[in-house]
Amino acid sequence: MTNKVVDNENLQKLKNKSASFITEFKSFIMRGNVMDMAIGVIIGGSFSNLVTSLTEDFINPLINGIGGADIGGSIKIYGGQKIMYGDFITSVINFVIMAFVLFILLKFANKIFEVGKKKEENKSKKSEEILLLEEIRDLLKKTTK
């Protein structure tokens, strides 16, 4: 009979631990940072497809038309294998475009944050005259006591 009591106590402790674990996991998932990150990953994947399409459907044909080079080229090697140098060049172009766009977005975001910080600094910054007057006030308080 004591085994049943011990088992019930252990079972109750296990239920409490699992309930707190699930509650903690729910709060982690519902935090804004995790949701924002998930949305960013989804949008990033879609943006990557957009850049790939831009490169393959517009930039590569322009390069092929101007220079006569085939971006979609490959080199045959032993055993019927191919080195797809055209795909690699396309990936490099995609990377450069995405890096440039992210750079521009980051510069824009930093400017927006700087404007907000400058407004806060201007509000909290006291002029030299006010600081001097406060110092004089504090000295007068000390000497009159």
Q: Give a yes or no: residue 132 inside a domain.
A: yes
Is 73 part of any domain?
Answer: yes
- Report pLDDT digits (tens) over 14-58: 777 777 878 877 777 676 677 777 788 888 888 888 888 888 788
Predicted confidence (pLDDT) per residue in 112-132, tens digit = 888 777 666 666 667 788 888
| CATH value at residue 139 | 1.10.1200.120
pTM for this model (two decimals): 0.46
Give SS3 for 76: strand
The answer to whether residue 15 is domain-embedded is no
List of long-range contacts for 136-141, beta carbons under 8 Å, 24+ apart: none
For the chain, the domain total comes to 1
